[in-house]
Structure 1
């Protein structure tokens, strides 16, 4: 776009926009700009959440001038020559810095500035979910002024399909521009009695179905230490693909909306998986055979085991497991080793071996090296690591009835003892329920949600059970019911300390349940009426937390054998409450147990925590946990006190979030614990 075109468009727009400003008073809402006073500096010396941008051929400098309009800093651009193009200080185009917007809403944008050239405009880009970042418009021409002057303009209505914008001030003529104290306010009238202008999104959040589909059936999903998502299908519950040896895996890159396909060495359909301490993913077992047409055998479990490396997007084989494993559990221990229980063996019978992966030796121990109880734990038994190193079997499982007895127990690997746990409601109707260790992990409370029974195919139930594992004799206590009865339920720990439950079905591979809710552990209540995923999510579906604080959902495999390849992303209500806090500095990413780690932030924060990235399938991720980081606060310098107990936070990579006083979480920074 030429300078002449830019000026002509800007002049037309500014007349229209100034006219639009006259009848409507601006709503005094939250400033949506991150680091609006440009005081927090990044490692490159430029303000956090801002970048030096532009194009063309000029002799120019970027820098900081002192003092600013307020505070120490203002951003400064000087063009000594300007034959073509422009230079601008712009907000960074990333989820942490770019303000979230609502289609159809209008926003007032303002900045304080001085400029020695009339060739100065406010420039805006928008993020189109189908096409990425695109130029939107130049909003206004800024008159020459030697004294600090505030310019405020109103955007046109945000186009459909836009979820974020960035903007800044551009100079394209010889001169010097200084800017400071940016602000952005949603001027769409809020609902009566509220302070948020995003309508239902303020309390319900918003789902967005991605404008592309997955290239593979996302039956197994793992959030990797680099923020990408591993989607493993194997044969994808497709006997024809199995017969053809067509096994698939893809890595989804949320930052670009693209996929990398990965050669897949075996049928990893219905395997187990867990992150190792170094961030690689251990894949155990899978599908050796589909049921025979003559009924001579059912599903058979593989003994194969692989490690997926996100640095190379490739699998490498480790030694075989000691028994076939189809639908096995996978729990990482406080020493970084992995224990796997249950599943079906190579002969279709239940696997009773305790299988133990020694991480330091990168191998599965032999049967006589691992402690054995020869107990069958069912299929995908939810085995949650307790603070004393024992495993809690919550009663969540798949395929039919629960185990004999109480349906729940505590297992001590070291002594081989199994202690029944009382109180689980309707243990034989907890098929495809989900259990999670509630925030914070230090409280040692587990909730089990929903479930059904695919053998009897009764209606799914809305039951929840809560247990305090710190008690000397833990007992399940009935919790508040789910707002809607469901099996195939997904439960995701959020950085604000709540649990988002979504997806599900009323019957075996049928009758999707779209209702979603938010569980508040502090109040022990479900908040009904959250926004609902428009895509059905029943059998072979998953939902998981992304590092930017959103939730992604994949998969649906109804009884007719089809598979829904659409991906959905949920923005929780907290993303509509104002600007995100910023983590400005962080220590080296290797954090020791019992240490205090000092970070700096751009303003007051309420809490900080580590959230273990998910590895989920079939309503099961027993390793999901939210670890509180008690804070020592000195202004914007925060000391984070790391637990000394690796059973609370097993070694590995975690997402570090801070939550601002407005309840909005930062984008996660990755840290390595152990």
Structure 2
């Protein structure tokens, strides 16, 4: 074999970027997960070639490249057939760009793996590296592959990554006649951290890091729901586009973070600005949406229709209609599995004062006469958070205009059918598009409300935050710390008391709250700022890594089961749409190897039970985090439920599940464990019933 072959690499084809799987951000996260983009070739670009992979090589002879079926896993594998080669080679490699080539840390070693079949012994796993000063260059050959006609797995550990290297790319080189077929590539950081939590990733150690995926989101996803299979339902309906509405073009897609692929879903009605919540059985209840765009005779009109999305079949099934139309309703699951819905606009464009109740036992919306009614208007997307005693806290977060009359916040007792004002919310008529979140752990019953503005009067958005202890005898908001200041478009520093609306807040498995995204004005002026809120100290840590993409109106940010945060969408006033997808790796992914959950005593958990798990290393914390169903900076069902733990003599751990379904309404949860360095595991799914 001629080593020149690897030093004179020539790219034959650079596929256009379309769909891809997530990868760690620059600086190399200790993700304990596969770092390869599109590892199984399931995502294809417009030419039919796998996204983030290229056909490469040089020399004489001929070579053909094909995407073939009969894969080791999934649908696709890649086949390279070489004939007449006496000089040079052919190979399929990861594209040499910042989005596709895995990021690495100097001094670390990585385990590389793949499945293969080959008719020629003239194959070798080859790696190239990106030198920050010199660019891409050949690095090393790692392992030759013996002939096999059956799918065979191989793995090899790299040498230590050389200094000044920030990315590598690798694949299998063929330098003699024959056919090689490969599939299911893996790459994981194999380095054991010294000193427990030592980080060598620069700013990412304290700020985390973002990666904008080279991907076009196929739908205008103003609704994002994390499903119990780890995939994400993205709903657009007509996507705030009257032309799509007139054409009856309504869209949804399911995104798979493991493969980076999107599957479009036939969408029966305009679910644009509907309400949604995960039911106890894992299906997604969607109610309302857009019946009509405004014209000279009416405003937006709300739909009565309701559907269930089944993650198992990937399809919508219609339920009975709600009693009233609802455009921009909020929905909250109760401790018994029922769902209560509030607000939005009716079919005649007026505000709906009809409370709706979806029965878990009958899978039907109850008629109005069977539902307690206050006949109060809570506005659009009112944030209604379930309390530990079964009452609902309206936090004052909403969209479009002023807050409700009175204090702007209230506690609603459904059984007694009483509504009690809650004092203390600052500047309650400028909390439009604010974000409210039940802080970790849910047992503490504390809510944080962040930012906001007013789309009618359109002042500069504010930096206000408010905190409330719902366990208090007479709960009242008290002022919280101001949001850290960020920068506007173009990096111009903010001045004065400017803040942001459309802000997102995501509960993380280490017990912190990641605050990101937002804008200074209605559908304009994105603010580039992110911070970390610590509920234990009631403080923000400013200066977290900032999503380079604008995230204002119709944006969503949410936790993935691997502990990263995904952000989608932005819809400025000019009607344009940001189709970029961003993935954030929090600082905890740079602190060392992740603990792994190696066994769980059953995936169906009951209230008040004790569940035994095993982990590969000691842990100090465990919790259940409810998967998000978020839109318009709103998910009133988001919660983090602490699991008190007991460590047994054999090293196993018993987790104690709350007896109170109001703290953790029935359904699927992500089970995370966390070690002493604050590093979380990848989640396991459990079904709490």
After TM superposition, the score normalised by the length of structure 1 is: 0.76
Q: Is contact 1:323-1:353 (8 Å) kept?
A: yes
Q: Is contact 2:529-2:546 (8 Å) kept?
A: yes
Matched, 1:489 2:489: no
Within a 5 Å distance, the mapping from 1:135-534 to structure 2 comes to: 138-139=141-142, 153-156=159-162, 184=191, 195-292=198-295, 294=296, 296-484=297-485, 485-534=499-548
Aligned mates of 2:164, 2:359 — CA distance in 1: 54
Q: RMSD of aligned C-alpha atoms?
A: 3.4
Per the alignment, do residues 270 and 533 of structure 1 end up closer, same or farther by CA in structure 2, a change over 3 Å counting?
A: same
Cα deviation 1:187-235 (Å, max 9, x = unaligned): 9xx9xxx942100000000100011111000100000000000000000
Q: Is contact 2:126-2:170 (8 Å) kept?
A: no
Within a 5 Å distance, the mapping from 1:102-121 to structure 2 comes to: 102-103=103-104, 105-108=106-109
Per the alignment, do residues 524 and 669 of structure 1 end up closer, same or farther by CA in structure 2, a change over 3 Å counting?
A: same
1:185 Cα deviation from its structure 2 partner: 5.7
1:603 Cα deviation from its structure 2 partner: 1.1
Matched, 1:660 2:675: yes
Within a 5 Å distance, the mapping from 1:609-620 to structure 2 comes to: 609-620=623-634
3-state SS of the aligned residue for 2:402?
A: coil
Q: Is contact 1:109-1:184 (8 Å) kept?
A: yes
Q: Is contact 2:461-2:520 (8 Å) kept?
A: yes
Aligned mates of 1:317, 1:537 — CA distance in 2: 32
3-state SS of the aligned residue for 2:244?
A: helix
Aligned mates of 1:418, 1:600 — CA distance in 2: 46
1:138 Cα deviation from its structure 2 partner: 3.8
1:163 Cα deviation from its structure 2 partner: 11
Matched, 1:646 2:646: no
1:155 Cα deviation from its structure 2 partner: 2.5
Per the alignment, do residues 474 and 126 of structure 1 end up closer, same or farther by CA in structure 2, a change over 3 Å counting?
A: farther
Aligned mates of 2:580, 2:139 — CA distance in 1: 28
Q: Is contact 1:31-1:184 (8 Å) kept?
A: no
After TM superposition, the score normalised by the length of structure 2 is: 0.75
Within a 5 Å distance, the mapping from 1:9-28 to structure 2 comes to: none
Aligned mates of 1:569, 1:160 — CA distance in 2: 18
Q: Is contact 2:454-2:522 (8 Å) kept?
A: yes
Q: Is contact 2:127-2:169 (8 Å) kept?
A: no
Aligned mates of 1:561, 1:307 — CA distance in 2: 29
1:660 Cα deviation from its structure 2 partner: 1.4
Cα deviation 1:255-305 (Å, max 9, x = unaligned): 00000000000000000000000110000000001111x2x2100000000
1:9 Cα deviation from its structure 2 partner: 7.6
1:105 Cα deviation from its structure 2 partner: 3.2
Aligned mates of 1:161, 1:266 — CA distance in 2: 45
Per the alignment, do residues 109 and 588 of structure 1 end up closer, same or farther by CA in structure 2, a change over 3 Å counting?
A: closer
Per the alignment, do residues 670 and 214 of structure 1 end up closer, same or farther by CA in structure 2, a change over 3 Å counting?
A: same
Per the alignment, do residues 7 and 653 of structure 1 end up closer, same or farther by CA in structure 2, a change over 3 Å counting?
A: farther
Q: Is contact 1:31-1:183 (8 Å) kept?
A: no
Q: Is contact 2:342-2:382 (8 Å) kept?
A: yes
3-state SS of the aligned residue for 2:214?
A: strand
Aligned mates of 2:644, 2:245 — CA distance in 1: 50
Aligned mates of 1:380, 1:152 — CA distance in 2: 51
Partner of 2:551: 537
Cα deviation 1:56-97 (Å, max 9, x = unaligned): xxxxxxxxxxxxxxxxxxxxxxxxxxxxxxxxxxxxxxxxxx
Partner of 2:68: none
Per the alignment, do residues 204 and 315 of structure 1 end up closer, same or farther by CA in structure 2, a change over 3 Å counting?
A: same
Per the alignment, do residues 489 and 127 of structure 1 end up closer, same or farther by CA in structure 2, a change over 3 Å counting?
A: farther
1:102 Cα deviation from its structure 2 partner: 4.3
Aligned mates of 1:256, 1:380 — CA distance in 2: 33
1:359 Cα deviation from its structure 2 partner: 1.4
Q: Is contact 1:110-1:153 (8 Å) kept?
A: no
Cα deviation 1:544-580 (Å, max 9, x = unaligned): 0000000000000000000101100000000011111
Q: Is contact 1:106-1:186 (8 Å) kept?
A: no
Aligned mates of 2:158, 2:170 — CA distance in 1: 19
Aligned mates of 1:298, 1:240 — CA distance in 2: 16
Partner of 1:636: 651
- Structure 1 regions of 5+ residues with no counterpart? 11-29, 36-99, 112-118, 129-134, 142-150, 166-181
Aligned mates of 1:158, 1:102 — CA distance in 2: 12
Partner of 1:584: 598
Per the alignment, do residues 668 and 464 of structure 1 end up closer, same or farther by CA in structure 2, a change over 3 Å counting?
A: same
Aligned mates of 1:157, 1:302 — CA distance in 2: 59
1:663 Cα deviation from its structure 2 partner: 1.3
Aligned mates of 2:3, 2:609 — CA distance in 1: 54
Cα deviation 1:12-71 (Å, max 9, x = unaligned): xxxxxxxxxxxxxxxxxx996969xxxxxxxxxxxxxxxxxxxxxxxxxxxxxxxxxxxx
Q: Is contact 1:108-1:186 (8 Å) kept?
A: no
3-state SS of the aligned residue for 2:191?
A: strand
1:346 Cα deviation from its structure 2 partner: 0.4
Range that drifts further, 589-598 or 155-164 = 155-164
Per the alignment, do residues 562 and 34 of structure 1 end up closer, same or farther by CA in structure 2, a change over 3 Å counting?
A: closer
Aligned mates of 1:127, 1:303 — CA distance in 2: 57
Q: Is contact 1:102-1:163 (8 Å) kept?
A: no
Aligned mates of 2:676, 2:524 — CA distance in 1: 42
1:587 Cα deviation from its structure 2 partner: 1.4
Aligned mates of 1:653, 1:236 — CA distance in 2: 28
Per the alignment, do residues 163 and 416 of structure 1 end up closer, same or farther by CA in structure 2, a change over 3 Å counting?
A: farther
Per the alignment, do residues 394 and 122 of structure 1 end up closer, same or farther by CA in structure 2, a change over 3 Å counting?
A: farther
Partner of 1:114: none
